[in-house]
Amino acid sequence: MKITAVSPARMGSSRFPGKPLKKILALPMVEHVRRRALLSESVDEVIVATCDQEILDTVRSSGGLAVMTSDKHERCTDRVEEAVRGSDADIVIVLQGDEPLLGTDVIDRLIAPFKNDPEVLCTNLISVIKNEADLDDCDIVKAVLNQKKQVLCFSRSGIPYRRAKSDCVFYRQTGFSAFRKSFLDRFSQLSPTPLEITESVDFMRILEHGYPILGVVYDEVTIGVDRPDDVGIVENILKADPAQKKIYELILK
């Protein structure tokens, strides 16, 4: 299978304008994600999809592949679909540009279900919420899974509601997912849905139209950059965590 990874990035973030080009140590954030994806032997190409000339120029000046997309997209998944429209990819991986601590094993985990089951249309990396305060953070999209690890619902609210104590595990959506290319094409033709718009969560469009999403549970804590204060947190991890420090040194070369 041909595997294409796409990182959608734009300057106009409402919470953090100019986020993709914010320096994290020596590199712009978008370059952290792009270069980490290139470390995966499973990936055939990595593309940055953007509607901003500054991002396009930054990626290309570093020798990366970037494509210009429409500035009309409300959802990042639609931007990804435009970037690979007409390509011969079999699997398209979506790597959010604000996840600079992308683990080197994430891509293999996302694509493994496609190799094992021809019925899988979409996978989404899901991590366990270990900090209870995250349940009340609307920047963190919570996920509920069924017994087969398929996603039942996404929400920015703290779901499931904690009415009684139980052994229920609380999950969050990460910025990493994958589509069978044929399904990504179909996704772009689906009409936006009420919960997608209300929650501002792309993947609710899939669920509301009745298609399954397989949750790939990831044991590691994932940290995205939603606000300027998160940059310092990520920089401290890159300096202190031996595994993250090693990856950072590799992508600087």
Residue 232 forms part of a structural domain: no
Q: What is the CATH number of the domain that holds 151?
A: 3.90.550.10
CA torsion sign for 35, 39, 45, 49 is: negative
Residue 249 forms part of a structural domain: no
Domain that holds residue 40: 3-182+190-226
- Provide the CA 152 distance to its chain's centre, in angstroms: 19
Residue 236 forms part of a structural domain: no
Residues 35-86: pLDDT tens digits?
999 999 999 999 999 999 999 999 999 999 999 999 898 888 899 999 999 9
> How many whole angstroms separate alpha carbon 181 and alpha carbon 188?
11
Q: How many domains does the chain have?
A: 1
* 79, 137, 14, 53 alpha-carbon torsion, rounded to 10°: -40
Residues 214-246: pLDDT tens digits?
999 988 777 888 889 999 999 999 999 999 999
**164, burial (CB in 10 Å: exposed 0-12, middle 13-18, buried 19+):** exposed
